[in-house]
Amino acid sequence: MLYFVVWLGHIAAVAAQFDLAHTQYGTSPPVYPAPYTTGAGGWEEALEAAKDFVGQLTLAEKAGMVTGTTGPCDMNMPGSMDFLGGSASYFGENITAAVNNGSLSSGRLDDMVVRILIPYFHLKQDKDFPPVDGFVPASSFGLPPPSLHNFTLGPVIDVRRQEHTNLIRTLGAAGTVLLKNTGTLPLAQPMNIGVFGNGAADLTHGQYSLVIGSDATFQGDYDIGTLAVGGGSGTGRFTSIVSPLEAIKSRAQSYGALVQYITDNNAIISGGLFSLAPLPMDVCLVFLKTWASEGDDRTTLLAGWNSTLTVESVAALCPKTVVVLHGAAPNVLPWADHPNVTAILAAHFPGQEIGNAIVEILWGDVNPAGKLPYTIAKTEDDYAKNLVNDTALRHTTDPNAWNADFKEGSFIDYKEFDAKNASVRYEFGFGLSYTTFELSPLTVRVPDTNLSRTPSVEAEVPPGGHEALWEALVTACVTVKNTGNVAGSAVPQLYLAYPDEAAAPEKSLRGFEKLSLEPGESREVAFVLKRRDLSYWSTAAQTWTLPEGSFHAMSGFSSRDLPKSKKFELPLSP
């Protein structure tokens, strides 16, 4: 819930939503149930309207002129109305006109200014704050904007640092999830290595990750070239990038191995693999990619560029085929059960160190510890079809086609699959390691004194909501042991099943912890459950409420691997 985040994280500004809720914009009078508004949250923060959002408002709404105290915007996104610059701001002269015609009071305007400047001074942006990089205009899609960036520009700033490179490399490896491994990984020193797939190669369209096509549209899903970041606001200009093929060549050269490669998927599918020699190869590494960007919804959950035929072509020739997926997720994996596909890694968007990060995982320099933050189903049809797809509906004539009713409620991702008792390919929270772990029995400590079912209505409500919601009530403990032969990181997870009164999903994630353990090492994890973790929102009482009855705490290493459990009840006041 947003107000928890604001209270806990000391947020200085909050963006207004893009979409309508109950046919109203986010700057209109409250349209959400009480827990999502300032009435229950008690917070007031500056709202920065996103360009695409403000573009849909009336002129008065564009200027942030909703009457009363219902939360108008204090600023819009700096810059012009259109995406590429050259036009005026939604605020600017409209603010002046609104004050002159009385639709915006000078008092509200002063309030907007104060809300903007408070975080500016609090964060000391007026004292020794670095100037905006003078290269910024040239980095905006390669266009020379005359008015897009009306900032006081400083000199061009070279931010390349070895510390940055090291951190990106570390995070890239940490975000990689090992999905399947039948003994192929980690690699020892294979002497004949095959590298295949268009996701392995160096960039072929320049170092800016989003390019403008001949039809003046933004594109990034070109054929050959690795995929390190996503599209839209996730784009950027690489100062350097190490492709998987480059990093693999470097590792192979260090001990004298041969690397054979084809990075054109069409060539692989059409029989190009038989031009390689010698065969068979010790291991074949296949790199797939899945492009995604804001402004376009995916039309399939398969990886791109004939990925299925690419994998099947390589696997037909190579008994040890390792598939690496980069880019958007989730992806369905129709080839996952192929007997020659012996390892699968979901490496996501690792950034500029994409090649070095995956090589460290493949050769065992880093033990994978990533866990899936989503469920991978067996087929696309296994996912609920309750989403509005922007790409599919772009030319619709149905005025109701864009409506999303959110009938699924809380039954999203693993909660949906649990409710349907459906089998999946790889469940939420899943991820393998090069070592093994075991858990001790789960213990649960509950309060000694009776608890009120709801926070006190007489207590003050500071920014962020009732302080009682952050009160620690229950502690669940489990000990994790590394039972393997190499160091690794375990991620024990705690799920909670609620009493029937809460009408909650079968189980909900309520805690996880990453532990780095040496072989034979054990460590205890304490999952602290606060009142908010144990409560449900009562529409009748219009407040957070502790349910009566039995809770079921479950601990393990994924949402469907929960070997340790314990039931408990809260001591509640009559």
Q: What are the start-end ranges of the E strands in 409-514?
A: 437-439, 443-445, 472-482, 488-490, 493-497, 508-512
Distances (CA, A) of 179 to 1, 94, 478, 479: 31, 54, 25, 24
Instruction: Tally Cβ neighbours within 10 Å of residue 569.
Output: 12
**Residues 199 and 56 both lie in one domain:** no
Of 370, 357, 343, which Cα lies nearest the Cα of 244? Answer: 357
Mean per-residue pLDDT for 189-213? 86
Instruction: Tally Cβ neighbours within 10 Å of residue 296.
Output: 17
What are residue 409's phi and psi, to 5 degrees?
60, -125
Which of helix, strand or coil describes residue 479? strand
Cα 418 to Cα 559: distance, rounded to the nearest angstrom: 9
Mean per-residue pLDDT for 283-300? 89
**CATH number of the domain within which 103 lies:** 3.20.20.300
Of 332, 352, 372, the position where a domain reaches its end is 372
Task: Give yes or no for a contact between 168 and 352, defined as CB atoms under 8 angstroms apart.
Answer: yes
**Residues 355 and 444 both lie in one domain:** no
- Residue 480 makes CB contacts below 8 A (sequence gap 6+) with 437, 438, 439, 440, 490, 492, 515, 517, 522, 523, 524, 525
pLDDT at 285 over 90: yes
Q: Is 413 a domain residue?
A: no
Convert 544-557 to b/e letters by CB count within 10 Å (16 or more is b): bbbbeeebbbbbbb
Of 163, 139, 165, 149, which Cα lies nearest the Cα of 235? Answer: 139
Instruction: Place 293 in a pLDDT band, splitting at 50, 70 and 90.
Output: confident
User: What is the per-residue pLDDT for 52?
Assistant: 37
Of 347, 372, 397, the position where a domain reaches its end is 372
Instruction: Place 277 in a pLDDT band, splitting at 50, 70 and 90.
Output: confident
**Residues 101 and 188 both lie in one domain:** no
User: What is the per-residue pLDDT for 214?
Assistant: 52
Q: When comparing pLDDT for 292 and 402, which is higher?
A: 292
User: What is the per-residue pLDDT for 151?
Assistant: 46
Mean per-residue pLDDT for 103-130? 84
Mean per-residue pLDDT for 90-108? 84
**Residues 359 and 483 both lie in one domain:** no
Instruction: Place 59 in a pLDDT band, splitting at 50, 70 and 90.
Output: very low
**CATH number of the domain within which 554 lies:** 2.60.40.10
Q: Is 32 a domain residue?
A: yes
8-state DSSP, 132: B
pLDDT at 439 over 70: yes
Q: Is 475 a domain residue?
A: yes
Q: When comparing pLDDT for 159 and 84, which is higher?
A: 159
Instruction: Place 81 in a pLDDT band, splitting at 50, 70 and 90.
Output: low
pLDDT at 508 over 70: yes
8-state DSSP, 476: E
Cα 498 to Cα 570: distance, rounded to the nearest angstrom: 11
Cα 447 to Cα 572: distance, rounded to the nearest angstrom: 10
**Residues 168 and 291 both lie in one domain:** yes
- Can you give the residue range of the structural domain that contains 116? 2-122
* Entry pTM: 0.83
pLDDT at 453 over 80: yes
Mean per-residue pLDDT for 76-89? 61
Mean per-residue pLDDT for 287-303? 88
User: What is the per-residue pLDDT for 451?
Assistant: 93
Cα 178 to Cα 557: distance, rounded to the nearest angstrom: 13
**Residues 443 and 336 both lie in one domain:** no
Distances (CA, A) of 512 to 290, 404, 429, 525, 572: 28, 31, 10, 9, 27
User: What is the per-residue pLDDT for 398?
Assistant: 85
35-39, 130-134, 150-154, 489-493: segment of lowest average pLDDT: 35-39
Instruction: Place 24 in a pLDDT band, splitting at 50, 70 and 90.
Output: low
Q: Is 403 a domain residue?
A: no
**Residues 184 and 269 both lie in one domain:** yes
Convert 168-198 to b/e letters by CB count within 10 Å (16 or more is b): bbeebbbbbbbbbbeebbbbeebebbbbbbb
Which of helix, strand or coil describes residue 343? strand
Cα 572 to Cα 449: distance, rounded to the nearest angstrom: 8
pLDDT at 560 over 70: yes
What does the block give as tokens for 455?
């926070």
pLDDT at 145 over 60: no
Cα 232 to Cα 273: distance, rounded to the nearest angstrom: 35
pLDDT at 31 over 90: no
Q: Is 144 a domain residue?
A: no
What mean pLDDT, rounded, does the chain reach?
Answer: 83
Cα 81 to Cα 55: distance, rounded to the nearest angstrom: 7
**Residues 352 and 291 both lie in one domain:** yes
What does the block give as tokens for 515?
């532990």
In terms of DSSP bridges, do strands 515-517 and 488-490 run parallel, antiparallel, or are they unpaired?
Answer: antiparallel
Q: When comparing pLDDT for 28 and 178, which is higher?
A: 178
Mean per-residue pLDDT for 205-209? 76
pLDDT at 250 over 80: yes
User: What is the per-residue pLDDT for 1?
Assistant: 41
Cα 344 to Cα 290: distance, rounded to the nearest angstrom: 15
119-128, 180-189, 372-381, 419-428: segment of lowest average pLDDT: 119-128
**CATH number of the domain within which 169 lies:** 3.40.50.1700
User: What is the per-residue pLDDT for 5?
Assistant: 46
Q: Is 152 a domain residue?
A: no
Q: Is 517 a domain residue?
A: yes
- Nearest-5° Cα angle at 191, 187 to 194: 80
336-350, 454-468, 522-536: segment of lowest average pLDDT: 454-468
Instruction: Place 175 in a pLDDT band, splitting at 50, 70 and 90.
Output: very high
Of 357, 372, 387, the position where a domain reaches its end is 372
User: What is the per-residue pLDDT for 61?
Assistant: 44
**Residues 222 and 314 both lie in one domain:** yes
Which of helix, strand or coil describes residue 489? strand
Count how many domains the chain has: 3
Of 439, 440, 556, which Cα lies nearest the Cα of 495? Answer: 556
Q: Is 488 a domain residue?
A: yes
**Residues 29 and 112 both lie in one domain:** yes
Cα 455 to Cα 468: distance, rounded to the nearest angstrom: 6
**Residues 175 and 242 both lie in one domain:** yes
**Residues 49 and 193 both lie in one domain:** no
Instruction: Place 363 in a pLDDT band, splitting at 50, 70 and 90.
Output: very high
Q: When comparing pLDDT for 114 and 426, which is higher?
A: 426
